[in-house]
Each structure stands twice: as C-alpha cells, then as structure tokens.
Structure 1
C-alpha cells in the first residue's frame, strides 16, 4: 500500500496517454496511405482517407497539447496543480484517443456532450486562475469583486469554446474533415437543423459547464472558501 502511494501517478498517466497518442499517430499515418479516398458503389462501410486524416491531425494536436503545460510553466513561471494536470490529460485521452481513434463519438451516447460540458468547466476554472495570478502580481494591483471575476471566468470559457468551434469549422472546410460531425459514421451527410445540432449543442453545454464553475467560484470567493484552490495556477517563487 505504501509503495502505491509513492508512485507518481501524474507521470504514469502522462506516459500512458502520450504513448497511446504516439502509437496511434504512427498507425493512422500508415492507414492514411493505404485507405481508399471514398467508398465505391457496393463497397462495405470502411474508413476512408478523410477519416484517418482527421484522426492523424487530432493525435498530433494532442501530442502538442501534452507538452504545452510544461512550456507554459517555464515561460510564465507558474505552477499548475497536479489535480488540474491530471484532469487535463484525462480529457485529452477521452477526447482524442477514445473519441476519435476508438470512435466513442459515434458508439457512446452523448460522449461529445459530456466532454464539452467538462471542458467548459475546466476553462471556467482557468479563467479564475488567470485572475488569481494577476492578484498575486505586485506590478498589477487589482481589487476585483467576486461577481466581476465570476463573469470574467464565464465569458473567458465561452469565448474559447466559440474559438474552438471556429477552428473545427475552418479545418473541416480546408481539409475535408468531420470534426463538427455534420456527416454520420456511414457517410450520410446531415442537412438543415440536423447539421447545426452538434455545433449548437457544443456551445450550449460549454456555457453550462462554465456557468456551474463560475457560480461555484463566486460563492467560494464570496464566502471566503477555497473550493477552487486545488485546480488554480500559482505563481512560482523565484529567488
């Protein structure tokens, strides 16, 4: 039991997720070369080149996202709490490896909705962290009310959610991908309101997740509790 407690689970999780993404990227790169461009008449359903292109770029993005926290810590001299890093890595694994590579977006009901709600909450917590870092900076004196901080965190999270949807829309058009899920797994293209459903649902649950964290953060600040302390960035002490 004592040995289990001594294990650096954050590092183990990081290595496991990074290995999953790297191996997937190599395998998917091969499948991109050998897979057909499109399904021919009478051909049984199979993944085509655009499907593997999406997976490939998502895995590459995931690998880059995995190393960003350490770069951010060194560049801006901050400490990202272990709880936040663990949640971040788990989110990447669920969104990219399970969601895209293992097709959970298609095979598990509401998988995308759950992840977007979770990401909205994480981005809301990130908004609180930024304000907290500014409050710790002697060069930027601030005295913001809890209500203002909560509104900022909510708007910050929703704005990033919108930027992500713009990114998905843009690269779906440029690279002929399906990040916005306007096409079903069998190749059927959605039209009208059905085609808009995924994007609008994502924005709404992003806002819902951000709202929950913003309300919790507001109550925490108003009552002087430390409910968000374990997932907030801290400024590193330098000599």
Structure 2
C-alpha cells in the first residue's frame, strides 16, 4: 500500500464519519456536500480507467483537499464568509493542483517537449479557473446568488478591501484568477525540475 492509497482510505473514512455524524444530528443539508465531495473524489481514478490518464499522487491529494475545502468547509460551513483568506487560499491550491492534471493530459502523447507540457499544464489550470468563474457568473444570474460577491449588501464582506475602488464582484473574481495564476506559476516552476 502506498501513501496515496492510505490517504485515500483516510479521506473517504473521514467523509463517511462526517456523514454519520450529520445524520445523527439530523443536519441533512450538509450530507449533500459530503456526498458530492465523495463522488467527485473518484474523478482521477475514472480518468485513468476510461482514458488511461495517470495523474500524479500530489495533484490528486491537492484535488481532494480542494474538494473538501470548497464544497464542505467553504460552502456548507460558510468558511468563505468566516475567513478572509479562505477563497484566495483555495484558488491558489487549485492553481497548484490542476497543473498536474494538465501535465497528465499532455503527457498522453510521448515525444512532446518538456516546455510544451509545462505550458499546457499552466494554461490548463488557468482555463479551468476561467471556466469556473464563468459558471459562478451564470449561477449568480440564474439563481440571483452571490458567488462572485457582486451584491452591494451581503453577509460576506471579507473578500473586498474597503479601499477598493472597483465593484466587489470584479475584485473577488480578479483576486481568484490572480491567486490561481500565482499557484499555477509556482507549481510549473517546481514541475520544471521534476520532469
């Protein structure tokens, strides 16, 4: 058993224990996010089984952390509103983790130069974030939500500095993308020495 398999067992057992706890407490709203985290945690294994895409252990581990931080802690337990740094840390980690996914996708074809693989991993990570921001925007438009912190009056004042001259939604979106770019850039430099 390797370290990733051990982490996988611990991660899924933790999700199960939390689900049992919330069922006992009759807090069924939180079960939805735990089920979603559990289901999405199989995505790397599914990509390997269906498309023979082998994602490295570190990127998978970071992906699990992102799922748990975003869906359970961030959304269900309102950590986005409680902690000013939560959203930025999550987008930084996403930038880190998804570079590995991009490298795995580019690595399918052998004979590609190292620089091209790294560039693809970097742009893949950023593209996923742009798509995520577009989905947040569409979700806000359809459901009148506040995922992009565009509302002038909202419970979450943590995402925008009082000195910001731009609207809150723009500041939140740009901070998310900048954190992703920094995370993806740092990770790409690290991967330069690993590949």
TM-score tier, shorter chain, comes to 0.7 to 0.9
TM-score by length of 1: 0.64
2:149–2:172 Cα contact (<8 Å) kept: yes
- Which structure 2 residues correspond to residues 16-165 of structure 1 after superposition, within 5 A? 16-17=14-15, 20=18, 27-29=27-29, 61-135=36-110, 143-165=111-133
Q: Which structure has the larger Rg?
A: 1
Q: Provide the C-alpha distance between the structure 1 equivalents of 2:31 and 2:177, rounded to a whole number of angstroms.
A: 25
Of stretches 79-88 and 150-159 in structure 1, the one that deviates more from structure 2 is 79-88
Does the CA contact (< 8 Å) of 2:60 and 2:97 recur in 1?
no
Structure 1 residues without counterparts, runs of 5 or longer: 30-54, 136-142, 221-226, 229-239
Is 1:167 the counterpart of 2:135? The answer is yes
In the aligned structure 2, how far is the partner of 1:113 from the partner of 1:65? 22
What's the RMSD between the two structures over aligned residues?
Answer: 3.1
Q: Is the 8 A contact 2:12 2:38 kept in 1?
A: no
Query: Alpha-carbon deviations, 1:182-210, whole Å to 9, x = none?
Result: 343279xx995223111111011111111
Distance in 1 of aligned mates of 2:109 and 2:53: 12
Following TM superposition, by how much is the alpha carbon of 1:115 offset from its aligned partner in structure 2, in angstroms? 0.7
Count residues in correspondence: 182
- For 2:20 and 2:59, the matched residues in 1 are separated by 23
1:213 positional shift: 1.5
Q: Which has the higher contact order (CA 8 A, sep 6+)?
A: 1
Q: TM-score, normalised by structure 2?
A: 0.76
